């Protein structure tokens, strides 16, 4: 079974703080993703990584950065947290490379972030 | 037009009935389609994937794909209260490595 873990389930931070969200997958997947999910807006892609040290902006990258130093680990960084970044953050991974299931994404449990 | 559209619901069905969830997509180049279930406060969980036109069955779940009509559906037979959740449709973005576009989901309520 694919296992995707996230460092925190709930997080409360103050405006202006630097926030790190970490995601680890144990299935040697090539691709990793960070989404945020807000009521009525669905899942929105923040950043995507298809290899170590490789990243690509998603639909809403502003205010976020990412780091992927090891294949199994993908970090999301909020440089200066703001109240409009209060959300549920979901990490996912997918196999990538060849094969029919390469795009199938598996999600971590999510981190609910509240910025005060 | 949204890339992936779903009726937000709630869709209410009695226990034991068939629930029918629908999804339309705009990108004719999409080749991979997924259904996820998401319980309130939890993360999405993969139910099924489908890649070819027609039906694909897995237990009480059947996914149906019609690429000509750009339509994918999920049928849940013998619906149970534990099926009450939001169901997300996801479609691959043609020409991208592995990105998926998600619909906003349909909330299903199975009533006793």
Cα A3 from Cα B23, distance rounded (Å): 28
Determine contact, residues B11/B105, Cβ cutoff 8 Å.
Answer: no
Q: Which residues of B touch A100 (CB under 8 A)?
A: 51
CB atoms within 10 A of CB A52: 13
Task: Return all residues near B5 (Cβ < 8 A) that are at least 6 apart.
Answer: B23, B24, B25, B103
Chain A residues with CB under 8 Å of a chain B CB are 30-31, 40-43, 45, 48, 50, 90, 94, 96, 100-110
> pLDDT value at position A40?
86
Q: Which residues of B touch A105 (CB under 8 A)?
A: 34, 46, 90, 98, 100
> pLDDT value at position A99?
63
Rounded mean pLDDT of A21-38?
A: 95
Q: Which of B8, B27, B99 to mutate to test the interface with A (most CBs of A within 10 A)?
A: B99
- Whether B64 has a pLDDT exceeding 70, the answer reads yes
Q: Which residues of B touch A25 (CB under 8 A)?
A: none
**What are the pLDDT digits (tens) for A36-80?**
999 988 899 999 999 998 999 999 999 999 999 999 999 999 999
């Amino acid at each position: 079974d694919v296992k995707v873990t996230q460092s925190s389930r709930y997080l409360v931070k103050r405006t202006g703080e630097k926030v790190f969200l970490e995601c680890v997958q144990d299935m040697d997947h090539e691709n990793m993703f960070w989404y945020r999910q807000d009521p009525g807006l669905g899942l929105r892609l923040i950043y995507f990584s298809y290899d170590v040290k490789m990243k690509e902006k998603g639909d809403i990258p502003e205010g976020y950065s990412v780091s992927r130093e090891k294949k199994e680990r993908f970090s999301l960084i909020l440089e200066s947290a703001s109240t409009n970044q209060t959300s549920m953050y979901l990490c996912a991974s997918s196999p990538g490379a060849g094969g029919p299931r390469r795009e199938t994404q598996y999600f971590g449990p999510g981190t609910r972030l509240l910025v005060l | 037009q949204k890339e992936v559209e779903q009726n937000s619901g709630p869709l209410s069905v009695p226990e034991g009935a068939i629930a029918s969830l629908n999804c339309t997509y705009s990108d004719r180049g999409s080749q991979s389609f997924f259904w996820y279930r998401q319980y309130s406060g939890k993360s999405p969980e993969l139910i099924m994937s489908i890649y070819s036109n027609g039906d694909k069955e897995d237990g009480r779940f059947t996914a149906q794909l019609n690429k000509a009509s750009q339509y994918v559906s999920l049928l849940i037979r013998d619906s149970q209260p534990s099926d009450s959740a939001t169901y997300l449709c996801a479609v691959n973005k043609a020409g991208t490595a592995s990105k998926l576009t998600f619909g906003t989901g349909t909330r299903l309520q199975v009533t006793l």
